Structure 1
Amino acid sequence: MNLPVLIRYISHTLHTFVRICSPDGQIQCAVCDVGGLEDTLIKQPDVYDFLLHRENTDLPIIKGINDTIAYVQFFVDSDCFLVGPVSFSSPLYPLHQLEHVIIDSQLKNHLSVFSYHHFCEVILFFYNVLAKESLSEDEFISCNFVKSFSSDQLQQDFSDYLFERQESEQKHNPYDQECREQKSIEDGDIEQLKRSIAEDYSGSPGVLSHDSLRNFKNLCIVVITLASRSAIRGGMSPELSFSLSDNAIQRIEAENNLVQLEKMLREIEIQYAQMVNEIKKAQKGTLAHRKNPHIIKCKDYIFSHLHDKITMDDLAYETGCSPNYLSQLFKEHEGISPLQYILREKINRAKNLLVYSDYTYSEIAAYLGFSSQSHLGKQFKKFTGYTPMEYRRNFMRQNP
């Protein structure tokens, strides 16, 4: 193995130092592929001792500095490898952490910023090339972030919690009500959903946090997640459903008024039911109730590429079907051809942009892959009976 080339590759990839140290903690050589980078941290005696201290394992150990900078130490045979410093895009909380360290601003500015997953991939590659046995990402996470606990502890905690609820005669809301609520979303039955939401019962929602606001937000996230899965079972594209869920949860996280949160949650559930209802109306008399993986993949691709020009060849390549077979299969399940479906979805997206954005008609046409503003206008009127200007004038929401 050409170790110098490997070390230089790791240094170049992570834009930092790779050092080889002796077992007693002396740096024998250091390689850095970044010109002008000076590691002022390791010159501090307490940081040096922390970084070179050998833990009770030879596996890669992340040594964190103030939650935002880290090194990795691991041993292979008699050599100790130390990689770092590396900066992260979000705080890192490894088990081995040194806090309240003075960090030179020049060093901070010199370090490249990485995501944890990219960093993990590079370190695992480095270690697995050198070590006799390969290390998985789960094992890497376990030895760096997971405090040891036993299944007995989990069981004890659950037993104590269960005893406390039984003593206080606390009950959860009935499961059958939840089933009715989710089934109404799956069926696109808006009125049944409203009736299910309005049901009165003696139980209470789960306790997911001892902070009341955080608890309700957590409950909202659970309900939205269940609603998104129910909508997928009802025929919604998984990608569309997941995107709505992501956006809804972001809205929930940004709101701190409990009354407003509950109103938002119910509106989100109803929005899911309405979208499923529209899908079922469009699919009436087709084979849509029989889920087909090619159709699901096709619709997900269309949703993800609505701002592009989509061809039958694109869809055929994505699904692994011939264009003719896919077109026939799609029409059997959706009642329209793939190209008609694409146009319908583009018009739906245009309606959304006309109502909720300030984009010009030509910008909307360009974003959605129409050849011109007039092309968009012609297709839009064919589908809606309105010109884009008339639709915006009649339906645009005014900003508060």
Structure 2
Amino acid sequence: MRPITFHDLTHICQLAQSAIGVPLMIVAQDKTVLASYAEIEIPHPFSKSSHTSQLECFELESDVADTLVLQKNASLEQFISVQVTLSDGQNVCIIVGPCISYKLNRDALVSLLHDIGQSYDQPQFEMIQQYYDQLAVVDKPRLVKIGLMLYYMVYGKHLDVEDVVQKNTDVQFSDQVELNPDLTLSRKRQELSFHHHVLHEKNVLQCIKEGRKKELLKLTNQAPEGEFGLLSKKSYLRHTKNLSICAIALATRAAMEGGVHQEVAYTVSDLYIQAIEELQDVNDVQHIMTKGLAEFAERVQHDKSNRYSKPVKMCHEYIDQFLYEKISLNELAQHVNLNPSYLSQLFQRETGVTISVYIQQERVKEAQKLLRLTNQSLADICTWLQFHDQSYFTKVFKKYTGDTPRRYKNKYSII
């Protein structure tokens, strides 16, 4: 790809801004604003310059980053940036933002102002509210996609969205507290019970229980429908800590259900909750919560991987990949290069169930997802998952879930 000129870059930025509807600017390495597009109408209430809030949370490096950088400042404004080396050798940065991941209601805004030590009278509060009301609501997955689009327009290269999310999860957390759950097994344990957004919570906890870290990270970067209750009117930091502690406590249970030893799970829980309490920045709290949830999922996956022999793990992977196809014992035996009879005995000895029962259980789990998340008919689901008739499918489904497929869909469907 030919070196990009400043003229080229301004054209890219103009096109991008008109498509995304979020403010965008080009900044030099010394933080001089070289060009800006679609500036917000109401000025930032805490800054003398309209660009101060955008620039205060960025450290512009001299080398070109190989990924995107996500940032969120103390005022909960979020940004994404792409660094670019121009044809004349100058290093500049495209910054998209500010935007917010969700609308701030009055109580949340009052708590935020308390946390950042911002005094105000009624007219000032109304101006602050107007400022936040004008900001575009862009959740993290969409913001990442905007960054991916800009990166491709500049470099002509694809970035993997999961890599971008993972790198920013790892980088943004401020390591103020050492976390090593393997060093200490705490004797004191606690059991917590809290209310959460049900559907989002169930999906997150299921990912932890099954050790699916990548899917978990996608979910934690999506704002669920509706709003979480405000758990502290006086402090947005306290509210965020409380929500994070709720999440860690629930994740602890999910990890134990996924096979993590309870002493290990409680130790991870204790250390992350202690670390959350030590932090004084909302963004650090959110990042360490995500880090904690990811660790639980990793531990579940690690335990599952080490629990079974290689042939049994290969069977699990094969069944997962071809769940919608007919799967026979002979196919599996050929796949793992073992005698069918020996494989059958090995699988049952290690998992506690026969291969046919395991396949049934996995298909019922898949049917549950389809019933919750799609409008597909029972007949279609039954056929796709290789059940020979709907009556038999209903019998098997009820055996493992306690509900008929129709009753399950009525209870849990989100469509």
TM-score normalised by structure 1 residue count: 0.40
Structure exhibiting the larger radius of gyration computed from Cα positions: 1
Q: Which has the higher contact order (CA 8 A, sep 6+)?
A: 2
TM-score normalised by structure 2 residue count: 0.38
